[in-house]
Amino acid sequence: MTRLSPALSLILPLCLVLAPACGDKADDTAGGGGDADTDTDTDTDTDTDTDTDTDTDTDADTDTDTDADTDTDTDTDTDTDPPALRFTLSAPEISTRDLLTWTVTAIDADGVETDVTASATVLSEDESVLKLYSADVGQPLWAGTALLVAAYGGTEVEAEVTVTTAPAEAGDLVINELLADGTVEGDPNGDGSLDAIEDEFIELVNMGRATVDLGGLTLVETDLPFLPRHRFPDGTALRAGEAMVVFGGGDVSALTAANAVFATVINEDPGTQYGLGLTNAGDRISLVAVDGSTVLASLAYGSADLTGAVPAAADASLVREPETTGSDWVVHGDAAGATGDYSPGTRVDGSPFPGPDGVYGAR
């Protein structure tokens, strides 16, 4: 018997173990007959790998915002409420001979009062009744109620004043022009009809400094002392610097002139109308107060003028020289700057009378 070397002794069992497998391989390759090798190899490899990843995120956000807003609003509101105003008139009711003054007082939030009259603005909402020709005085012009508004510091306050018309007094009115000869060329009353009675006229001018009430005043002629030639109706008024022209009759609606008023006689002539009843050769005409006896203005001319200073005028009017203020009387055509033979409602040169604005504006 042949003895195997130790090395082969170790390899032989291994080949015996591997031989079936190798045989299988050869059989499969060769396509040999039936395979009696039963595979009893059991895979006992159990995967016990357990994932125990317990990684816990403990990162806590401890970042604290310590940015403190220290921006302090230092905007101090300095706006103040507008003051209250007290508007005090010198009187709640005045006549046209009065002047209106006032006081404007500012009252602050603490009740402190300050006279702000000199700084306040005052306006009249009714300038036909009361007009401010200067900042601190109101001039009454016509009867009625005027609303005044005072403004100061963004505040306005109102006050009302009532104006009454003062009665005419001696010295307020003057007779400035007179036409006794109604046969003068032209048509003085502007009605398109030539009439010796209706075209006669008397021109009165208010030379005072106040609007005056003419209601109830009468024009009286020497020959008819108890039958006035004209009675001014109630409510008739004439402002300072204005003229009132009274014609013997006719229609004067076509006549216009700045600062002038035109009227026709209103009387109680029975039957025949005498108009103003002026005598060409000479006469006296008077403006008489409501009491029937007080003469406010008068003019004697021609034969009725005992001084002989005032002539009678034919085919023209008589006019004061200088106008409105003079004591002399001349025939219209001889007056300085005169144009034409008469000028009812205007100056001799055709320019207007001053009216209130001319009188008070020159204050």
Per DSSP, 333 falls in state: G
Which residue, of 139, 164, 189, is where some domain finishes?
164
Do 150 and 102 share a domain, yes or no? yes
Do 179 and 153 share a domain, yes or no? no
Residue 260 within any structural domain of the chain: yes
For 311, the token pair is 């002539």
Torsion-angle region of 125 (φ positive above 0: left; ψ -120 to 50: alpha; else: beta): alpha
Read off the amino acid at residue 282: G
Residue with tokens 């103003």: 276
Do 222 and 337 share a domain, yes or no? yes
Per DSSP, 100 falls in state: B
Do 112 and 243 share a domain, yes or no? no
CA angle 151, 157, 162 (to 5 degrees): 110
Cβ 325 vs Cβ 319: under 8 Å: no
Query: What is the count of structural domains for the chain?
Result: 2
Residue 159 within any structural domain of the chain: yes
Distances (CA, A) of 49 to 42, 45, 52, 54, 55: 20, 12, 9, 15, 17
Residue 355 within any structural domain of the chain: yes
For 42, the token pair is 């059991």
CATH of the domain at 315: 2.60.40.1260
Residue 23 within any structural domain of the chain: no
Indicate the burial class of 338 (C-beta count within 10 angstroms; 0-12, 13-18, 19 or more). Answer: buried
Do 208 and 139 share a domain, yes or no? no
CATH of the domain at 114: 2.60.40.1080
Do 357 and 261 share a domain, yes or no? yes
Determine the straight-line distance between the first and last CA of the chain, rounded to whole angstroms. 174
Cβ 115 vs Cβ 103: under 8 Å: yes
Structure pTM? 0.77
Helix (H, G, I), strand (E, B) or coil at 127: coil
Cβ 146 vs Cβ 160: under 8 Å: yes
Q: What is the pLDDT of residues 78-123, one digit of tens each?
A: 567 789 999 999 999 999 999 999 999 999 999 999 999 999 999 9
Cis peptide upstream of residue 83 (ω within 30 degrees of 0): no
Residue 56 within any structural domain of the chain: no
Name the percent of the chain in helix, strand, coil, to the closest 5: 10, 30, 60
Which residue, of 164, 194, 216, is where some domain finishes?
164
Cβ 296 vs Cβ 288: under 8 Å: yes
Distances (CA, A) of 263 to 108, 148, 273: 56, 34, 16
Do 127 and 188 share a domain, yes or no? no
Do 324 and 249 share a domain, yes or no? yes
Distance CA(181)–CA(169), nearest Å, equals: 29
Cβ 298 vs Cβ 284: under 8 Å: yes
Do 299 and 330 share a domain, yes or no? yes
Do 107 and 191 share a domain, yes or no? no
Distance CA(204)–CA(200), nearest Å, equals: 14
Do 263 and 351 share a domain, yes or no? yes
Residue 189 within any structural domain of the chain: yes
Helix (H, G, I), strand (E, B) or coil at 172: coil
Local confidence pLDDT in tens for the 363 residues of the chain: 444 444 444 444 333 343 444 344 334 433 444 444 444 444 444 444 444 444 444 444 455 555 555 555 555 555 677 899 999 999 999 999 999 999 999 999 999 999 999 999 999 999 999 999 999 999 999 999 999 999 999 999 999 999 999 999 999 999 999 999 999 999 999 999 999 999 999 999 999 999 999 999 999 999 888 899 999 999 999 999 999 999 999 999 999 999 999 999 999 888 778 899 999 999 999 999 999 999 999 999 999 999 999 999 999 999 999 999 999 999 999 999 999 999 999 999 999 999 999 999 965
Cβ 202 vs Cβ 246: under 8 Å: yes
Do 182 and 231 share a domain, yes or no? yes
**Which helix (H) or strand (E) is 10 found in, with range?**
helix 6-30
Which residue, of 110, 139, 164, is where some domain finishes?
164
Residue 172 within any structural domain of the chain: yes
The parent domain of residue 130 ranges over 84-164
For 121, the token pair is 């603005």
Residue 257 within any structural domain of the chain: yes
Identify the CA nearest to 128 among candidates 30, 237, 283.
Answer: 237
Q: What is the pLDDT of residues 247-269, one digit of tens each?
A: 999 999 999 999 999 999 999 88
